[in-house]
Structure 1
Amino acid sequence: MLNNINPKNIEKVFITASGGPFNKYPLTKFKNITINQALKHPNWQMGKKITIDSATLMNKVFEIIEAKKIFNFKYNELNILVHPNSYVHAIVKFKNGLTKILIHDTNMKIPIFNSFYSNFEKKIKTKNLDLNILNNLDFKNVNLIKFPVVKILKNLPRKNSLFETVIVSANDKLVELFLQKKISFQNISKILISFVNAMEFKKYKKISPKNVDQITKLSEYVSLKIKNMDI
């Protein structure tokens, strides 16, 4: 959608999230969420790790970080909107007043296809435009009480740093512990937020990654730190 477009001409980008299986789930029941419930995504069929990230909305935190790095945006130019139908995937507002919306079915073949053939050299069969969904887009802001991991975005450094490695590695390990039934669903977000706010790891906001070995060692340390936590 942003191929051959100068990011300087863009005012805002909205990335959509379905809200996963718990978008309308009562907050009072979050403490009893099971693995099977968290793995029942309403729109997509994915692997366990990404499905849990979708249930916490951590996948959108990663997408915001990726969009910032790939297209050289500022974090305040990137936003998340909850869109349960998963039909609109991004909205881009330009400084000239125009707004473009990216729409397609919940089929990963479409974005994968377009990552290879971005200049319309090839065609792919897709479904017709669904006007029923377009007439009921149902956009909402993220409920930060249900999905507190999104608040992590406010604490990210502007420049590339090892702090992103801390976030990714901590989340990886916590999702793993949840799938092993060692922590609750709510504790994924709770522990992750407290972990990345710890003084020990804040220093990595000011350290730029120099090589893969440095990133790997920090990732291993973060994973071990969480494994040894008294949870």
Structure 2
Amino acid sequence: MIKKIAILGSTGSIGSSLIDIISKDKKKFKIILLTANQNDKKLINQAKLLNVKNLIITDKKKFNKLKKNKNNFNLFNDFKSLNKILKNKVDYVMCAITGIEGLLPTYNCIKHTKNIAIANKESLICAWDILEKEMKKHNTQFIPIDSEHFSLWSAIKLKYKKNIEKLYITASGGPFYKLPINKFINIKIKDAINHPNWRMGKKISIDSATMMNKVFEVIEARNIFEVHINKINILIHTNSYIHAMVKFNNAVSKIILHDTDMKIPIFNSIYQNKKYFKRTSDIDLKILNNLNLKEPDLKKFPLIKILKKIPPFNSLFETVIITINDFLVDLFLKKKISFVSISKIFFLEISNKEFQKYRNIRPKNLDEILELKNFVQKRLTSRYI
């Protein structure tokens, strides 16, 4: 049976990896929708490659440019058109739009698909309770795409969440794991985006360098697997070969490993059938025999300490955290603050009373989350720009 698919954020790294997988097996898939923000050339090339008729490009200038050209595509400028495009439930939607801008499209796609693969961290961190309620309402299966969470999800399956005793998420340590702390003051942008194991965009590379990405992943795991945040540990594993471990309450533990290739969780998210296999290299015994797992150095990576302040339930405080971090990373990339200032200003801001009050407030709807994001941004802008 041919699978009908929609890809939100098809021109980014996750979307492009999925396109590459599908293009090698075109007969099994029919792509109903592709979306992008600004990369119109790549979007058109993807559409031609896979014979896709429906395209959303959210940048107004790029949309108008494409509209002027003669083409056979159904072009849309926003996600309000989803009801027109996805009239019947598709088999699979990949949500790979980066940033909090991906929250609303992710939510709106749930009712249109049988399976939703989410790579958008902000959605899972800020609005998990809202998304989960909507998925249950429409009987939509959720699949996490982050390598750590996909590993845990594949090992646990959600029906065994109650059997979890402890979760372990691994971190490469980023580019500064071995750098002496007295040299952190001299860190430049080119150093921070030079990840040793993964090729990623600038923003996520900075989050990896500060290890804020692991803070986010712990919060995601708390939400997805309903585990208290104190039962989720971060371990440094410089090879990025082991992605996660789970200890069950029956004394059995599982270690999930695979090569540093995001196509592996993406492939398995779309091929949920044992008849299809992805050929990879043999298990690397050299790495397994030299794991050298360690707890992270909190003096080098102080942002990890924020986990002690995270409530045990999905709250609006997570939106505050994401917005502050996004703002500070942007300042660093614009050379307006130093690398070490990211953590210093971060802790100064989250201790502010006007932000602390959100620790005990659960999000009621997406508008509340988006309004809070705008409020925090305005406050920060008034103080630092």
Flag whether TM exceeds 0.5 (same fold): yes
Question: Take 1:121 and 1:60, find their aligned partners in 2: how far apart are those partners?
Answer: 34
Is the deviation greater in 113-122 or in 82-91?
Answer: 113-122
Question: Take 2:274 and 2:384, find their aligned partners in 1: how far apart are those partners?
Answer: 54
RMSD: 1.4
Letter of the 2:238 counterpart: P
Question: Quick one: which of 167, 177, 182 aligns to 1:28?
Answer: 182
Gaps of 5+ in 2: 1-154
- The TM-score with structure 2 as length reference comes to 0.58
Cα shift at 1:58: 0.5
**Count of aligned positions:** 231
2:56 is aligned to none
Is 1:73 matched with 2:227?
yes
Is 1:101 matched with 2:281?
no
- Deviations along 1:112-140, one digit per CA (max 9) or x if unpaired, are 22223345342112121111111111110
1:198 is aligned to 352
Cα shift at 1:68: 0.8
Question: Quick one: which of 343, 357, 362 aligns to 1:208?
Answer: 362
Question: Take 1:228 and 1:124, find their aligned partners in 2: how far apart are those partners?
Answer: 51
Cα shift at 1:176: 0.7
Is 1:167 matched with 2:324?
no
Of structures 1 and 2, the one with the larger relative CO (CA 8 A, separation 6+) is: 1
Question: Take 1:100 and 1:194, find their aligned partners in 2: how far apart are those partners?
Answer: 39
Question: Take 2:158 and 2:364, find their aligned partners in 1: how far apart are those partners?
Answer: 29
Question: Take 2:159 and 2:293, find their aligned partners in 1: how far apart are those partners?
Answer: 25
2:382 is aligned to 228
Cα shift at 1:160: 1.6
Question: Take 1:4 and 1:195, find their aligned partners in 2: how far apart are those partners?
Answer: 36
Gaps of 5+ in 1: none
- The TM-score with structure 1 as length reference comes to 0.96
Question: Take 1:28 and 1:118, find their aligned partners in 2: how far apart are those partners?
Answer: 48
Is 1:182 matched with 2:336?
yes
1:152 is aligned to 306
Percent pairwise identity:
56
Q: Structure 1 208/26 Cα, relative in aligned 2: closer, same or farther at 3 Å?
A: same
Question: Quick one: which of 215, 218, 231 aligns to 1:61?
Answer: 215
Is the deviation greater in 217-226 or in 12-21?
Answer: 217-226
Question: Take 2:158 and 2:331, find their aligned partners in 1: how far apart are those partners?
Answer: 42
Question: Take 1:227 and 1:85, find their aligned partners in 2: how far apart are those partners?
Answer: 38
1:218 is aligned to 372
* Cα pair 2:204 2:213 within 8 Å, conserved: yes
- Deviations along 1:121-164, one digit per CA (max 9) or x if unpaired, are 42112121111111111110010000001000000111221100
2:244 is aligned to 90
Question: Take 1:178 and 1:121, find their aligned partners in 2: how far apart are those partners?
Answer: 47
Cα shift at 1:224: 2.1
Question: Quick one: which of 9, 12, 17 aligns to 2:163?
Answer: 9
1:138 is aligned to 292
* Cα pair 2:235 2:294 within 8 Å, conserved: yes
Question: Take 2:161 and 2:194, find their aligned partners in 1: how far apart are those partners?
Answer: 36
* Cα pair 2:237 2:293 within 8 Å, conserved: yes
Q: Any runs of at least 4 consecutive aligned residues in structure 1 with deviations exceeding 6 A, and if so which?
A: none
Letter of the 1:170 counterpart: I
Letter of the 1:3 counterpart: K
Cα shift at 1:181: 0.4
Cα shift at 1:72: 0.9
Question: Take 1:65 and 1:115, find their aligned partners in 2: how far apart are those partners?
Answer: 21
Letter of the 1:59 counterpart: N
